[in-house]
């Protein structure tokens, strides 16, 4: 995308998407979070203005602060109707959804999304990232993507670790199963205690506290009692929507999660959040 183009971007997209859009010099048009009617209206306006050569829609696959999943089937429908390029940043979907392949696969849309990008640093546990798309697009990126061209390649050790992680992911769904079980267990437990866990559909489990200072204090008290879950506050999320973000993993045991829930209850009562 360049200065003659437009990018429709979900208002809750990750900071790296926002920065990437800015670097492209394209006109960035934000649409309301997962609001397909707003996306369609803005796409029609952009198209009918005749101002742009190409128009792209870009979204997180799984939104990093809330854990909800992008409405990819509807986004693809709008994209087909209005001839938009589609780009999914699947940093939080890779290894988690679609038998590990990600959000696009989860919805069976592998041949409908132009670009899928993901990281190897989250569920895969190493470092690096990937872009998947049609061969022409990938060839073009290899000669035009400045961050790719002008930075050092991954080390052999990191590459070996990535290959092994992908092998593990491809050969068994056991870790994913455990991840989802742990995520669901933690969510049910927090909900039962009376916490607000927002709109999460994935193991990312926000615990929404609200006011910024109180959120930070809550996170600090959790840590003092043995739970590490970071506070996320304005400007990363909206004012008054501060939350402690929990990242349950396949490595957590039931005992650890039970202990965490006891601590959540204790701190929640102490701070009169519950």
Residues noted as catalytic: 64, 92, 122
Q: Which helix (H) or strand (E) holds 232?
A: strand 230-232
Q: How far is the CB of 269 from ligand PLP (least distance, A)?
A: 33
**Looking at 20, 95, 100, 129, which residue binds ligand PLP (CB under 6 A)?**
129
Which distant-in-sequence residues (6+ apart) come within 8 Å of 14 by Cβ?
60, 64, 89, 91
**Looking at 34, 64, 215, 246, which residue binds ligand PLP (CB under 6 A)?**
64
Q: Per rule CB under 6 A, is residue 121 in the interface with ligand PLP? A: yes
Our CB check for ligand PLP shows the closer of 121 and 249 to be 121
Per-residue x/- track, 84-113, ligand PLP (CB under 6 A): -----x-xx---------------------
Our CB check for ligand PLP shows the closer of 60 and 68 to be 60
Q: How far is the CB of 15 from ligand PLP (least distance, A)?
A: 8
Q: Let me know: does 26 contact 57? Beta carbons within 8 Å.
A: no
Our CB check for ligand PLP shows the closer of 17 and 26 to be 17
Our CB check for ligand PLP shows the closer of 12 and 231 to be 12
Q: Per rule CB under 6 A, is residue 59 in the interface with ligand PLP? A: no
CA distance 182 to 187: 9
How many angstroms separate the Cα of 266 from the Cα of each of 159, 160, 217, 243?
43, 43, 14, 17
Q: Let me know: does 230 contact 245? Beta carbons within 8 Å.
A: yes
Q: How far is the CB of 91 from ligand PLP (least distance, A)?
A: 3
CA distance 139 to 172: 31
CA distance 171 to 177: 13
Q: Which of 27, 41, 35, 45 is nearest to 10 (CA)?
A: 35
Written as six digits, the tokens of 82 are 């209005």
Q: What is the size of the binding site for ligand PLP (CB under 6 A)?
A: 10
Q: Per rule CB under 6 A, is residue 162 in the interface with ligand PLP? A: no
Q: How far is the CB of 162 from ligand PLP (least distance, A)?
A: 11
Our CB check for ligand PLP shows the closer of 92 and 187 to be 92
Our CB check for ligand PLP shows the closer of 119 and 246 to be 119
CA distance 176 to 179: 5
Sequence-ordered alpha helix ranges (H) in the chain: 15-24, 36-49, 72-82, 103-106, 135-144, 146-149, 156-171, 174-193, 212-225, 254-270
Q: How far is the CB of 69 from ligand PLP (least distance, A)?
A: 13
Q: How far is the CB of 68 from ligand PLP (least distance, A)?
A: 13
Residues that bind ligand PLP (CB under 6 A): 14, 16, 60, 64, 89, 91-92, 119, 121, 129
């Amino acid at each position: 995308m360049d200065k003659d183009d437009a990018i429709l971007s979900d208002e809750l997209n990750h900071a790296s998407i926002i920065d990437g859009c800015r670097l492209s010099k394209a006109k960035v048009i934000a649409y309301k979070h997962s609001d397909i009617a707003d996306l369609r209206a803005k796409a029609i306006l952009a198209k009918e203005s005749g101002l742009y050569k190409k128009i792209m829609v870009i979204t997180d696959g799984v939104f990093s602060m809330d854990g909800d999943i992008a409405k990819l089937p509807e986004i693809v429908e709008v994209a087909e109707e209005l001839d938009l390029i589609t780009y999914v940043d699947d940093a939080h979907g890779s290894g988690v959804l679609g038998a590990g392949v990600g959000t696009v696969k989860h919805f069976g849309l592998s041949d409908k999304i132009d670009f899928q990008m993901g990281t190897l640093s989250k569920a895969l546990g190493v470092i690096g990232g990937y872009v998947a798309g049609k061969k022409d697009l990938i060839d073009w990126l290899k000669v035009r993507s400045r961050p790719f061209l002008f930075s050092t390649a991954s080390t052999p050790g990191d590459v070996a670790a990535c290959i092994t992680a992908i092998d593990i992911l491809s050969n068994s769904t056991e870790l994913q199963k455990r991840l989802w079980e742990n995520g669901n267990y933690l969510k049910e437990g927090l909900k039962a205690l009376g916490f607000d866990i927002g709109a999460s559909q994935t193991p990312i489990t926000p615990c929404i506290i609200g006011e910024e200072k109180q959120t930070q204090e809550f996170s600090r008290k959790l840590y003092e009692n043995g739970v590490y879950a970071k506070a996320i506050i304005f400007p990363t999320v909206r004012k008054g929507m501060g939350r402690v973000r929990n990242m349950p993993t396949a490595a957590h045991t039931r005992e650890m999660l039970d202990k965490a829930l006891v601590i959540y209850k204790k701190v929640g009562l102490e701070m009169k959040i519950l």
